[in-house]
Structure 1
Amino acid sequence: MKHHVSVGVDGSPESRAAARWGAREAALRGVPLRLVHAVDWPLSPAVPRVSHEGADRWADETLTEAREDIRSLHPELEISTRCLAGRPAAALAAEAADAGLLVLGSRGVGGLVGFLMGSVSMSTLAAVETPVVLVRATDAAEHAEPAPYKEIVVGVDIHEAADKVLAFAFEEATRRGCALRAVHGWKMPSMYQYAPFFDPEDEREVGRNVTQMLDEVLLPWRHKFPDLSVTHQAFTGHAGQQLIRASMGADLVVVGRRLRRSPLGAHLGPVTHAVLHHAAAPVAVVTHD
């Protein structure tokens, strides 16, 4: 059985953008789309209490609206809906267990609403091994036809064996028939900051070695996907900043997250954390060992 694409919807512009992105992805993969809704209604003096009947009715309306919107864009796509009980992060994590991909809307950072939405996304990321894509709402996502595919950007750590990350990026680029750009950020060892005489040629030599190592990491994937246009760039500086710049013209940015089963949090790492909060394109987070 082919894995479906699951999308969390809550009626917000961000979730509508996520549903449209997820539908296009499901069509590319040739798999069904499942729209899921999970609400943990807050009980506080500042928020009116909502009856179970009212919550169920609102959930049904939200799912129906999302399904009809997607059906108008992808009439051939198999679409199902599912209402999840429990706290959103835990419910979405359980839903992701048998999905090939989980897609969520994201407001990014800034403001109380953005923080709350971000907490659900972060908690979900911490609990799943399924790849997760976070999508933000834009005017184009609401009103315009999807643009032609351009480029996928993947962050590569040459010091880790992250085959799952590269496999995801190469497969996504192949589905779209677009180019793939691999990005790696590096910096000189801290000992060079205290060297009395710094030779710029040392930095250039390290740069050449890093670029060669990046090329070697990508080589078996180039052989596996010979028809794919692949470029690679090794930059001096913070990898997150380079990926954020590269996201400006990208369809998708792919980053990794090391799998750590710990009660202390998601352990996203500084690069993935920066990209999630500041990238201009949808971001795919792929868990690896």
Structure 2
Amino acid sequence: MPTPVMAGVDGSAESFAAAEWAAREAVRRERPLLLLHARNWHPCRADGEPADAAQRQLARRALRRAEERVRRTCPAVRLSDEQVEGPASAALLSAADRAELLVLGSRGLSGFTGFLVGSVALAVVAKATCPVVLVRAGEEAADEDFPAEEGSAEEGGAEDGSAAGEGASGRIGHRDVVLGLDAGDPSDEVIEFAFEAARLRGARLRVLHAWQPPSAFELGPGDVALADKPQQGREWRGFLSAVLQVWRDKYPGVEVVECVPQDKASTALIRAASAAGLLVVGHRLAERPVGPRTGPVTHAVIHHVGCPVAVVPHP
């Protein structure tokens, strides 16, 4: 049986949006969709009756509501559901080992309160071995496409990675897939996920490598940093083009725009994703000394980007 696309369902508006997004993705990938509800475990009462009977009923109700919404908006998807015992983060991580990707709802806190996407989602993103996509409440299929009156970025894109010429070109179709990439340490898993996502959607792929001049302590003979800033930008664009060439050859039908802004990576990605249909970032799997953590760029974008965010694990 093909590995499924999974969506975590807990009865919240965010989880229903995640289920609908996952259904569309499952159809694109020709995969079944599994709706998963993780119940917290409770011990049996003295009379032997499980104390979590009410939880099972609530779980069934949440799954049924999610199924109704999915079948209404995406009737072509092959659909099943499952209840598993929690704790939720551990149950979802275990299920993710048998998933093509896992889709979760995100509250999307921001600003001074933006320290948690949700403890469960944050723990899963930090440790999942499959890609995890975070979806905001209210995300709909129409949000993936440009409105008829709205354009996309002009050919080549803005140097800073933003959507230049927005509203002028009249581009019709799926919003760009944006890939945040470190050209100095690229990950094949992350790049392939982004190219495949763009191919499945018929979307343009905007690849962004943000750079900042290193301090004097980081300079060495022959370093790119010894050049002036315009030259550094050209050098980074050359590195990025070289990294992507093999993927351009593998995906000749995907239009690729390369952006090398001089900026903080998180700032550039948040700006570039403002008109995107999907943002793809990587997450290096590693044991960290203090609980499950994500890197600073991933942490920033999952709290502040409005479009769905795919976090792809890699060694």
Q: Fold-level match, TM-score > 0.5?
A: yes
Structure 2 partner of 1:89 = 89
Identify the residue that residue 273 of structure 2 maps to in structure 1. Answer: 247
Which of 170, 179, 186 is matched with 1:154 structurally? 179
Kindly provide the amino acid, as one letter, of the partner of residue 208 in structure 1: R
Given the alignment of the two structures, is residue 170 of structure 1 paired with residue 169 of structure 2, yes or no?
Answer: no
Relative to structure 1, the CA distance from residue 245 to residue 116 in structure 2 (aligned partners, 3 Å threshold; closer, same or farther) is closer
Query: 2:206 aligns to what SS in structure 1?
Result: strand
2:116/2:122 contact within 8 Å kept: no
- Work out whether residues 5 and 102 of structure 1, in 8 Å CA contact, stay in contact via their aligned partners in 2: yes
CA distance 1:236–1:192, change in 2 (3 Å): farther
Q: Residues 1-289 of structure 1: matches in 2 within 5 Å?
A: 1-40=1-40, 51-109=51-109, 118-138=118-138, 141=140, 147=145, 148-191=173-216, 202-262=228-288, 264-289=290-315
- Displacement of 1:227 in angstroms is 1.3
Task: Report SS of the residue matched to 2:209.
Answer: strand
- The separation in 2 between residues aligned to 1:55 and 1:76, in whole angstroms, is 30
CA contact (8 A) 2:179 2:207 kept: yes
Could you tell me how far apart the structure 2 residues matched to 1:72 and 1:173 are?
A: 25
Aligned mates of 1:65, 1:277 — CA distance in 2:
27
Shift in CA distance, 110/174, structure 1 to aligned 2, threshold 3 Å: closer
TM-score normalized with structure 2 length: 0.81
Report the residue type matching 1:261 in the other structure.
E
In terms of fraction of residues, the more helix-rich structure is: 1
Unaligned runs of 5+ in 2: 43-49, 146-172, 220-224
**In 2, Cα distance between equivalents of 1:271 and 1:114:** 14
Aligned counterpart, 2:161: none
Contact 1:259 1:288 in 2 (8 A): yes
Structure 1 unaligned regions, length at least 5? 43-49
The 2-side partners of 1:237 and 1:226 are apart by: 30
Cα distance in structure 2, aligned partners of 1:265 and 1:159: 28
Distance 1:253 1:77 in 2: 24
Corresponding letter in the other structure for 1:58? L
Pair 1:26–1:55, CA change in 2 (3 A): same
- C-alpha distance in 2, partners of 1:14/1:244? 21
Q: Equivalents in 2 of 1:158, 1:180: separation in Å? A: 16
CA distance in 2 between counterparts of 1:271 and 1:110 reads 14
CA contact (8 A) 1:107 1:114 kept: no
CA contact (8 A) 1:106 1:117 kept: yes
Q: Deviations over 1:212-235 (max 9, x none)?
A: 101111111111111111001001
User: Offset at 1:135?
Assistant: 0.3
One-letter identity of the residue aligned with 1:166: I
Identify if the C-alpha distance between structure 1 residues 116 and 162 changes in structure 2 by more than 3 Å, giving closer, same or farther: closer
- Comparing 221-230 with 265-274, greater Cα deviation is found at 265-274
- Relative to the length of structure 1, the TM-score reads 0.88
- Give the number of equivalent residue pairs: 275
User: Where in structure 1 do 4 or more consecutive aligned residues deviate above 6 Å?
Assistant: 113-116
2:85–2:91 CA contact under 8 A, matched in 1: yes
